[in-house]
Structure 1
């Protein structure tokens, strides 16, 4: 459980850093690319073996990391577009509701058993994510706008499911740092290409503030993946339980951080979601 708790802390801190970007006027796109470079460097730093770049393409998980890197950039941009065109609450709910995909995958592919109380816990988790993320302002969705949150939902679910599958069949524990570093390197390269394309239309500013923001984001970003891999390796919880607890606890803890650090207003509906989150975590973790 300690690795799962550390993954939740790391992921929650990412949201805090994103919130601070607005306060300190950090250019998000550039900071995101720097963040992937820093996360890649962190993976190389914590890797205990000898790093040979020529050997990495021969790893069984190499092409999967390239695909994951592309997905990281793509899903992030879809999340940003969804938040801008449809609404922040819709983007948040679509991202966290994606826990359904790895849960279903774990049950169907790995034949993981879910008792009645765990099923109740997962259903409560979905309700908790919705209510904890819901805002007082309503959002009217057009048919064309439905594709954006649906894409975020599918993309986030595919990322979580892919990480579990690769961890299960292709990665040794010793390779976790170098695997994470390669994923982030692929994401960084994709981001650099994206910035290069964007800069041809609009000049991207490079300054110390953006670099510092990327560093602050990259460290927790790396550890959120690393500790999630470690949590998935433990025998005490199956992958369905890990993803449920991870996503719901991130929503709950991020909400509490928003209250404490940024004095955010939390409605009765949000408090109800936090209460459901606690119940769902207890059911999934201990039954």
Structure 2
């Protein structure tokens, strides 16, 4: 339970930091790159085993983590494009609705238990995510030519969560979680730094010190969001389908409350309905476990 709560808290803090980026006019891409560097060193710092980076490529999960790190950067860019073309609500819905992918994977591949309570809880969770994420009265407005971007965000986000579940279950030892997380972020950092170098060569790089501060503030919760979700998946409190459902819907719910409390966001009636459904869905999924 503790790991799941800390995963929700860490992911929610990421939301808060991104909000502050907008308030303090911090370049999101630059801060994201710094964040990956910070998250990498966090992983090394919290790794309690014998550190031998030269031997890390010998780990069975090594090349998979490199691919995940690259996917992190790709999805970030797709999220930015989606935000520009279709709005922030579309990105939020696409990202959170992607929970259906690891949930279905857990039910099919791992043959996890399924019953009326869990099915109802998952369905309500998806509805809750949608209603709580839409901040306009007219709902989502996506032009057909731009539909590919949120679709890729949906698939990519779901693939990341599913891959993390599969790798931690089949390849990552209990004492390697910190190192496993660190290598994922290192791959993303290398690609991100390469992008910044390319900008510098082209003369378009305008790096500001506040991006470093923002990157540090983002990197800490970002690292722990991965670390604790892996630990939560290894706990016996819920099956992976339940963990991902509760984690995603709780993040949306808590983030919404923080938006109202600290950023003076106004909620529509459907947002409140989404929050109520979120609470009910968490209760149903948790109850289905017993």
Alignment TM class, shorter chain as reference: over 0.9
For 2:93 and 2:142, locate their aligned partners in 1 and report how far apart those are by CA, in whole Å. 14
Q: Which residue of 2 is the match for residue 56 of structure 1?
A: 56
Give 1:202 deviation, angstroms: 4.9
For 2:206 and 2:42, locate their aligned partners in 1 and report how far apart those are by CA, in whole Å. 25
Q: Which residue of 2 is the match for residue 29 of structure 1?
A: 29
Give 1:6 deviation, angstroms: 0.4
What are the equivalent positions in structure 2 for 1:272-283 lying under 5 Å apart? 272-283=273-284
Aligned: 1:88 with 2:82 = no
Q: Which residue of 2 is the match for residue 14 of structure 1?
A: 14
For 2:89 and 2:283, locate their aligned partners in 1 and report how far apart those are by CA, in whole Å. 25
For 1:142 and 1:258, locate their aligned partners in 2 and report how far apart those are by CA, in whole Å. 28
Deviations 1:89-123 (A, max 9, x none): 11100000000000110111111111110100000
Give 1:173 deviation, angstroms: 1.1
The ranges of structure 1 where at least 4 consecutive aligned residues each deviate by more than 4 angstroms after the TM superposition are none
Q: Which residue of 2 is the match for residue 2 of structure 1?
A: 2
Deviations 1:109-161 (A, max 9, x none): 11111111010000000000000001225443222111011000000000000
Deviations 1:232-251 (A, max 9, x none): 00122100000000000000
Q: Which residue of 2 is the match for residue 244 of structure 1?
A: 245
Deviations 1:156-190 (A, max 9, x none): 00000000000110001100000001000001011
Give 1:260 deviation, angstroms: 0.8
Shift in CA distance, 267/137, structure 1 to aligned 2, threshold 3 Å:
closer
Q: TM-score, normalised by structure 1?
A: 0.98
What are the equivalent positions in structure 2 for 1:1-287 lying under 5 Å apart? 1-138=1-138, 139-287=140-288
For 1:136 and 1:25, locate their aligned partners in 2 and report how far apart those are by CA, in whole Å. 24
For 1:206 and 1:134, locate their aligned partners in 2 and report how far apart those are by CA, in whole Å. 33
Q: TM-score, normalised by structure 2?
A: 0.97
Shift in CA distance, 281/211, structure 1 to aligned 2, threshold 3 Å:
same
Alignment length, in residue pairs?
287
Give 1:286 deviation, angstroms: 2.0
Unaligned runs of 5+ in 1: none
Give 1:197 deviation, angstroms: 2.8
Unaligned runs of 5+ in 2: none
Secondary structure of 1:94's aligned partner? helix
For 1:140 and 1:208, locate their aligned partners in 2 and report how far apart those are by CA, in whole Å. 37
For 1:273 and 1:202, locate their aligned partners in 2 and report how far apart those are by CA, in whole Å. 46
For 2:174 and 2:217, locate their aligned partners in 1 and report how far apart those are by CA, in whole Å. 26
For 1:199 and 1:140, locate their aligned partners in 2 and report how far apart those are by CA, in whole Å. 36
Alpha-carbon contact 2:121-2:281 (below 8 Å) kept: yes
Secondary structure of 1:55's aligned partner? helix
